[in-house]
Amino acid sequence: MFFNALLIALREIRRNLMRAFLTVLGVIIGVAAVITMVTLGQGTTQAVKNQISSLGSNLLVLRPGSGFGPRSTSAGVPRFTTQDAQAVMEQVSGVAAVAPVAQTSLSTIYLQTARTTQITGSTPDYFQIGKWTIGEGRLFTDLDLRSGAAVCVIGETVRRQLFGSENPIGAKIRIGKSSCEVIGLLTAKGQSGMGDQDDTIVVPLSTLQRRLTGRTSARSVNQINISAEDNTNSDAMISEITSLMRQRRNLSANEDDNFSVFDTRQIAETLSSSTKMMTMLLAAVAGVSLLVGGIGIMNIMLVSVTERTREIGIRLAIGARAREVLLQFLVEAITLSCVGGVVGIGIALGLCYFLAQVIQVPFQFDTRINVIAFIFSAAVGVLFGFTPARRAAKLDPIEALRHE
């Protein structure tokens, strides 16, 4: 009986392909939207995780002021000194490397090309902590740091914009008012949601202080990057660093911290939980469109019960039972919604593959969401196919045959 109903339903669908297409369009769009949203959302979450781990694993960042992001307050708060960095290295257990960082924004000029770039002054450990590797040339050394040599290492974006196809190694660029020799090119890390990490010029900290900013005062370090040894408890490290810095900054017991320590792993978790939230939200909106698609099926099926009254009358007259008519309409609705689900999944995968490249997030095929979306679309068919099917089955054969 079920096989027969399927055969009859398929013949009815074939009889009016255009109507069938319009019926399932809503489900196709709904399923495609849900899967696209979730897949891209998960890709974004993964991308954020990748970017944060590319900043350096086990990375702790010490900054003046409180908070991170737009609400941070660092105005009027004293910065750090290189001695602070030294103290962290020597007194906190589990520290693998420490790099004091000073940053400033300056115009850089090579021949006729000028642009403003973030200039970072630090120590050679900065590269190791930040997982930077050298592409061409060399990194600066402790010797360069001690002498305050006029050398710099540039990122891929800077190379592309200032030098184009030229070889940058050995060239002299103007940074602010000084001239600086390019000694190395960093391997590209790629575009990230947190800004272009490759848009950077790194110079020895002493060079930045003496030649570029002229700010030679001790408190010129605006950030200290700390990498922890593997398998260390970052919470314990954070509290050790905090008590050390409170002591070094002479904070009394009733004063708040005027600096903060960030753990990149925590930041990663915060960011990925907010992108997950975003994904859920978008999926919910897309889910509503799937529901609307289901109502579309019900609408067209209801209309088609009226339109097909005579057909139902013929079937009843030649001996179809009410339950067979019910099954036929139900199977039609379920078949349509399942086909819609499959087509929707196909479209979603194509769309995700394409969009993932456009917005540069990894394309991650998630079997679970595809299965869920398909089951949901089938359920939509059962749910919204039932009312029209029951209406069809309840028709009186004489009335139905008389229907014009």
Minimum distance from CB of 313 to other proteins (Å)?
8
Q: Which stretch binds other proteins (CB under 8 A): 129-137, 204-212, 230-238, 312-320?
A: 312-320
Cβ 204 vs Cβ 100: under 8 Å: no
Interior CA angle at 81 toward 77 and 71, to 5°? Answer: 30
User: What is the C-alpha separation between 141 and 316, in angstroms, rounded?
Assistant: 91
Minimum distance from CB of 295 to other proteins (Å)?
27
Which residue number, 158 or 316, has a Cβ lying nearer to other proteins?
316
Q: Which two tokens stand for residue 52?
A: 């944060």
Told to check if 401 binds other proteins by CB under 8 A, we report yes
User: What is the C-alpha separation between 206 and 220, in angstroms, rounded?
Assistant: 10
Minimum distance from CB of 321 to other proteins (Å)?
4
Q: Which stretch binds other proteins (CB under 8 A): 64-72, 84-92, 297-305, 393-401?
A: 393-401
Cβ 337 vs Cβ 380: under 8 Å: yes
User: What is the C-alpha separation between 125 and 97, in angstroms, rounded?
Assistant: 7
Minimum distance from CB of 401 to other proteins (Å)?
7
| Rg of the chain over all Cα atoms, to the nearest angstrom | 33
Report which DSSP code applies to 208: I
Which residue number, 196 or 324, has a Cβ lying nearer to other proteins?
324
Which residue number, 229 or 396, has a Cβ lying nearer to other proteins?
396
User: What is the C-alpha separation between 49 and 16, in angstroms, rounded?
Assistant: 49
Judged by CB under 8 A, the chain residues 313 through 372 that form the site for other proteins are 313-324
Told to check if 390 binds other proteins by CB under 8 A, we report no
* 51 sits in which H/E element: helix 17-55
Minimum distance from CB of 7 to other proteins (Å)?
7
Which residue number, 172 or 310, has a Cβ lying nearer to other proteins?
310
Residue 147, amino acid: S
User: What is the C-alpha separation between 240 and 228, in angstroms, rounded?
Assistant: 12
Which residue number, 166 or 396, has a Cβ lying nearer to other proteins?
396
**What does DSSP say about strands 113-122 and 172-175: parallel, antiparallel, or unpaired?**
unpaired
User: What is the C-alpha separation between 70 and 75, in angstroms, rounded?
Assistant: 13
Which residue number, 15 or 172, has a Cβ lying nearer to other proteins?
15
- Among 124, 193, 346, 397, which residue sits at the site for other proteins (rule: CB under 8 A)? 397
Alpha-carbon 254 to chain mean position: 40
Told to check if 1 binds other proteins by CB under 8 A, we report yes
Judged by CB under 8 A, the chain residues 292 through 311 that form the site for other proteins are 310-311
Minimum distance from CB of 385 to other proteins (Å)?
20
Which residue, chain included where needed, has tokens 């979730």?
Answer: 38
Told to check if 215 binds other proteins by CB under 8 A, we report no
How many residues are there in the chain?
A: 404
Which residue number, 41 or 313, has a Cβ lying nearer to other proteins?
313
Q: Which two tokens stand for residue 227?
A: 């990498």
Minimum distance from CB of 338 to other proteins (Å)?
22
Minimum distance from CB of 382 to other proteins (Å)?
23
Judged by CB under 8 A, the chain residues 2 through 61 that form the site for other proteins are 4, 7-8, 11, 15-16
Which residue number, 136 or 324, has a Cβ lying nearer to other proteins?
324
Nearest partner of 297 among 63, 30, 116, judged by Cα: 30
At residue 365, the 3 state secondary structure works out as coil
Nearest partner of 264 among 59, 26, 23, judged by Cα: 59
**What does DSSP say about strands 172-175 and 59-64: parallel, antiparallel, or unpaired?**
unpaired
Which residue number, 12 or 156, has a Cβ lying nearer to other proteins?
12
Minimum distance from CB of 331 to other proteins (Å)?
14
User: What is the C-alpha separation between 94 and 96, in angstroms, rounded?
Assistant: 6
Interior CA angle at 220 toward 218 and 224, to 5°? Answer: 110
Which residue number, 151 or 305, has a Cβ lying nearer to other proteins?
305
Minimum distance from CB of 397 to other proteins (Å)?
5
Considering CB under 8 A, how many residues would be counted as binding other proteins?
A: 24
H helices of 359-396, in order, are 367-393
Which residue number, 172 or 321, has a Cβ lying nearer to other proteins?
321
Minimum distance from CB of 4 to other proteins (Å)?
6
Contacts with other proteins, residue ranges (CB under 8 A):
1, 4, 7-8, 11, 15-16, 310-311, 313-324, 397-398, 401
